[in-house]
Chain A
Amino acid sequence: MDAIRLLHISSINKLSLCLAVCLWFCGVPVWAGQQSFTPASEEDILDLSLEDLLNVKITSVSKKAQSLSDAPAAIFVITSDDLRRSGSTCIPEALRMVPGINVARIDSNKWAVTSRGFNGRFANKLLVLIDGRTVYTPSFSGVYWEVQDTLLEDVERIEVIRGPGATLWGANAVNGVINIITKHAADTQGGLLALGGGNKERAFAGARYGMALGEGTYGRVYAKGFKRDEFVHLEGGDAGDDWDMLRCGFRVDSRLSGRDALTVQGDVYKGNINQTLELPTLTAPFSQTFKDKADVEGWNVVAHWQHTLSPTSEFTLQMYYDRTDRDEEFEHEIRDTYDIDFQHRFAAGDRHDIIWGLGYRYTSDDFSNSLVLSMDPDSSSDELFSAFLQDEITLIKERLWLTLGSKFEHNYFSDSEFEIQPNARLLWAPHPKHKFWAAVSRAVRTPSRIEHNGKVVTAVLPLDPPIVLTVVGDSDYDSEELLAYELGYRVVPAKSLTMDFTVFYHDYDKLRSSELGLPVFDGVSIEQPLWFDNELKGEIYGVELATVWQAADWWRWDLAYSYLETDMDTRNAQDKAQNSDGPQHQVSLRSAINLSSDLDLDIWLRYVDDVKTVSGNTMSLVDINDYLTFDVRLAWWPHKDVECSVVGQNLLDDKHPEFVQESFTLPTEIERSVYGKLTWHF
């Protein structure tokens, strides 16, 4: 992997160029911003008449630059404005702005996304929800990010909670929860058409139409599609990872009565995901590299009913069905999930706010086994029962709150014990501009299907007889456990400046390790199994900082910094190679400038430190160098309903590697991308 190191190019010249460009732009808005004038100032606005107030020109200074969350947890919110101005064309790319989250693109159609360490294509300690629907797959407890999408213009916000969120969210919310929330149908009335294309984003189009369907009932339908180009292999040559996807969906929000609200929504998608695979074979040359096409499709429907019993009591009932179908060379998986959740929130006395809930999930899968990946049995179903109870207690009014709660889970398939995941959180607000919080929580990651029933052939050594290296699941494999300690401080140190600090210490036990099994000779080859085991302990600690500074009405800065230290207590080198390492430092700096009332400029600078990724073939770690890059977006509004934008991504290098998948794909580099986009609201 020295080749990766060689790619570390000096970027001093490019950096100085960037600096010059930035400095040039700095000067521009000083005059460009001062176009709209009214006689009123903040002080004498209260003396204006009603008629005059309606004529005052307002600026919407980002609320983010002044708001402090009341949540006693490490939370970061990507607003719809952040999303638009990021220039991101898909959800994982936008997550790069969140402190504590590591996003690494593996190739054109694969991402490794994690919160607080342990990154991988199959990163398994993160819970991702889209409008309450869980989208991680229990097959490996990870997320196929390439199929998690919607019309980004319809996304209201993305809430990212780092650290355990198990009490309220449940299964798999070990290191973090990503909650993608789409807009209420009343907020997406009218039409929208977005079209564009570029060198890597070959072509994309999205359309939405929303209308009132009756009194208190609103609906919308959308459709989108894209075709993305391939990247290049690290060793040279096209990576053959171009892909395309079509998706459409609807959402209806209805106020059935003064106390009942109903939401029904659904999506359907279909895509062709090309990839170059390097799979082991039992005959010489024992490895085969070829182009493959993964056919992915799925659909879901979600119903959510909210009923208000009294001013201090309400319940929600949510049901969904989700189907995913993924067919690629080494596996074909079909999964159906049925889920029902009930939550009741009420106030008890003057000081207690209680929320409790019950959940049931049924999921069944059907695998078509191959030499490389097989499940035994190849078809299985699983039931998950859960309950939770949480009480937010006001200890001192307007000052001090204590939240105590726990989730209780029982999983039939994993046959694991009854899991209890409690947490205690304290929020202290000595002043509206200063908030402190502290939390202690326990979370578990229940075993995935592959960890119990799977068998993966990672490599075949060309000896006589050939040695087949396999990783084999174990039905005794147990849940991984985490005890997390977190401290946070949010402050408004000066006007239009907010800072959000978090310090955390995660203490893990029973993490996945591997144990050499006894070799078996079947007459042709020797199989050398590695069994999954729970023998690894480890600590991860770090600091996360999110800062927003509204330097002027027309200029906002967003800085995110993450520091991460991984300390695994390993018995031997094989264990270490179960978990990726780093990056130790990550910086995201965004500058959003309104050059004039119809021109926006966004610059997004990112630094990601060295990463060590796991190689499944050799069970060793592969070094990926640190990288620095930036995106620029320029948007012009020729008319109030039309936006034309040009976005350049990863501009500092022609290409750089960010991650190498654990197995089966060749190291791929992320290329510079430029695209144009036209958005029309009607």
Chain B
Amino acid sequence: MEKLIRVCLLMLCLLISIGLPADICAGTVKEYSVKAALVLNFARFTDWPTDAFADSPETFIICVVGDNAVWEAFAGIEGKGVKGRRIVVKRVRRMRKFCVCDLLFVSGSDRHRLPKIFAAVEGKPVLTIGEMTGFTEAGGIVNLIRTENRITFEVNPDAAQQAGLKISSRILKLATIVSGSHGEEFK
């Protein structure tokens, strides 16, 4: 018990000594803030089919699969405009909700959920954006890749075409182009 008290004292000293240096490193930007900003740009430089927004002409729905940290970063782009529509960010826990999304961001590296996600958006005009190795080969449209401390991305134009989306050349010329499709089995 005596040692425990010493541990507590030591902790206290350490905590005081750092003096709450919150956000001391202002020069860099958090990974998911950059990813949210990139997603906003992808939305702006992609054309959806004309009937895609028939259900909700006022809003552009971005669905986010991820934890509260990812969700919080994406809350920063809520209310911004895309093609005259207001962005609404929805946090998705269940696969069955994907049909309402215009854009879907899948965070993390859990590949096991990909088949269900791609099955849910099959043939629908949903821009799928992920951040794991093999996302585009498996049928995703855009994959964000972290290389050291910057972000690059790959695009699968075939998958975009299957979804009925047209990605601007401005995006394509910055991207690594990947081919591959997630199979016709769901048709």
Taking Cβ atoms with an 8 Å cutoff, the residues of A that contact B are 11-12, 15, 18-19, 22-23, 26, 30, 33-38, 40-42, 45-46, 48-51, 53-61, 63, 65-70, 156, 184, 186-187, 189, 215-216, 218, 253, 255, 257-261, 306, 308, 310-312, 314, 347, 350, 353, 398, 432-433, 492, 495-496, 551-555, 559, 585, 587, 589, 591, 605, 607, 609, 626-628, 640
> Known: A54-B152, A55-B150. Is A15-B30 also a contact (CB below 8 A)?
no
Q: How far is the CB of A52 from chain B (nearest CB, A)?
A: 10
Report yes or no: B27 in contact with A37, Cβ–Cβ below 8 A: yes
Task: Report the interface size for chain B: residues with CB under 8 A from the other chain.
Answer: 76
| Cβ contacts under 8 Å, B152 to chain A | 54
Query: Are the CB atoms of A311 and B31 closer together than 8 Å?
Result: no
Kindly provide the distance from the CB of A661 to the nearest chain B CB, expressed in whole angstroms. Answer: 24
Q: Are B150 and A63 in contact (CB under 8 A)?
A: no
CA distance A67 to B108 in the complex (A): 12
B49 contacts partner chain A, Cβ-Cβ < 8 Å: no
Residues of A within 8 A of B139 (CB): 258
Q: How far is the CA of A19 from the CA of B7 in the complex (A)?
A: 11
Once the chains are docked, how many angstroms separate the CA of A45 from the CA of B98? 28
Q: In chain B, residues 16-33, which have Cβ atoms closer than 8 Å to a Cβ of chain A?
A: 17-18, 20-31, 33
Q: Taking A53-B41, A259-B183 as contacts, is the C-beta distance between A60 and B109 under 8 angstroms?
A: no
The distance from the CB of A428 to the nearest CB of chain B, in whole angstroms, is: 15
What 0/1 pattern do residues 52 to 69 of B give for CB contact below 8 A with A? 000000000000000111
Instruction: Determine if A347 and B96 form an interchain contact, defined as CB atoms under 8 angstroms apart.
Output: yes
A261 partner, pick from B4, B11, B112, B185, beta carbons under 8 A: B112
B45 lies within 8 A of chain A by Cβ? yes
B186–A589 contact, CB under 8 A? no
When the two chains form their complex, are residues B1 and A585 in contact, meaning their CB atoms are under 8 A apart? yes
The answer to whether A496 touches B22, judged by C-beta atoms less than 8 angstroms apart, is yes
Select which of A55, A258, A432 is within 8 A of B183 by beta carbon.
A258
**In the complex with contacts A45-B34, A56-B34, A215-B137, A259-B115 CB distance below 8 A:** yes
Residues B11 and A58 in contact, CB atoms below 8 Å apart:
no
Residue among A37, A53, A260 with the highest chain B CB neighbour number at 10 A: A53
Q: State the CA gap A46–B75 with chains docked (Å).
A: 12
Chain A residue with Cβ nearest B95: A311
Q: Give the 3 A-B residue pairs with the shortest CB-CB distance, closest first.
A: A258-B183, A311-B120, A66-B69
Asked if B177 is an interface residue, CB under 8 A from chain A, the answer is: no
Question: From residue A672, how far is it (CB to closest CB) to chain B in Å?
Answer: 17
Whether A19 and B21, one on each chain, are in contact in the complex, defined by CB atoms closer than 8 angstroms, is: no
Q: Are A495 and B96 in contact (CB under 8 A)?
A: no
- With a cutoff of 8 Å between Cβ atoms, the chain A residues found around residue B71 in the complex are 432
Instruction: Please determine whether A22 and B14 come into contact, CB atoms closer than 8 angstroms.
Output: yes
Query: Which of A19, A26, A257 is in CB contact (< 8 Å) with B10?
Result: A19
Chain B's nearest CB lies how many Å from the CB of A651? 14
Q: Are B150 and A311 in contact (CB under 8 A)?
A: no
> How many angstroms from the CA of A58 to the CA of B145 in the assembled complex?
12
Are A184 and B111 within 8 A (Cβ)?
yes
Contacting residues of chain B (55-97) with chain A, CB-CB under 8 angstroms? 67-72, 76-77, 80, 91, 93-96
Question: What are 20 A-B pairs with beta-carbon distances under 8 A?
Answer: A12-B6, A33-B25, A34-B25, A37-B27, A42-B33, A45-B33, A45-B37, A56-B34, A60-B30, A186-B132, A187-B109, A189-B133, A216-B134, A353-B94, A398-B91, A496-B22, A553-B25, A589-B7, A626-B3, A640-B148
Of chain A, the residue at the smallest CB distance from B107 is A63
Residues on the A chain within 8 Å of B23, using CB: 552-553
Select one of A69, A312, A552, A628 contacting B25, CB under 8 A: A552
Q: Which residues of A contact B38 (CB under 8 A)?
A: 50, 53-54
> Given contacts A66-B72, A585-B4, is CB(A257)–CB(B183) below 8 Å?
yes
Q: How far is the CB of A193 from chain B (nearest CB, A)?
A: 20
Q: How far is the CA of A60 from the CA of B35 in the complex (A)?
A: 12
* Nearest-neighbor residue (CB-CB) of B108 within chain A: A63
Point out the residues of chain A lying under 8 angstroms from B133, CB to CB: 184, 186-187, 189
Which of A49, A398, A628 has the most chain B CB atoms closer than 10 A to its own CB?
A: A628
Complex Cα–Cα for A307 and B126 (A):
23
Among candidates A58, A63, A607, residue contacting B28 with C-beta atoms closer than 8 Å: A58
Which residue of the partner chain B has the closest CB to A307?
B115
CB pair A41–B119 under 8 Å, yes or no, is no
Instruction: Evaluate contact between B4 and A587: CB separation under 8 angstroms.
Output: yes
Q: In the complex where A54-B152, A57-B29 touch, is A258 in contact with B3 (Cβ < 8 A)?
A: no
CB contact between B68 and one of A30, A68, A640 (< 8 Å): that residue: A68
Instruction: Considering the complex, give the chain A residue whose CB is closest to the CB of B76.
Output: A46
Contacts of A311 in B (CB 8 A): 95-96, 98, 116-117, 119-120
Contact between A57 and B27 (Cβ–Cβ < 8 Å)?
yes
Chain B residues near A312: list those with CB within 8 A.
Answer: 94-96, 116, 120
Are the C-beta atoms of B26 and A41 separated by less than 8 Å?
yes
- A51 near B7 with CB under 8 A, answer no
Q: Are A48 and B37 in contact (CB under 8 A)?
A: yes
Quick check: A59 and B138 within 8 Å, CB to CB?
no
A552–B26 Cα distance when bound, in Å, is 10
- Distance, CA A12 to CA B10, complexed state (A): 11
Asked whether A215 lies within 8 Å of B180 as measured between CB atoms, the reply is yes
In the complex, B105 has a CB within 8 A of chain A: no
A255 near B138 with CB under 8 A, answer yes
Q: Is the CB of B115 within 8 A of A308?
A: yes
Q: Which residues of A contact B30 (CB under 8 A)?
A: 42, 58-61
Q: Does B100 contact A (CB under 8 A)?
A: no
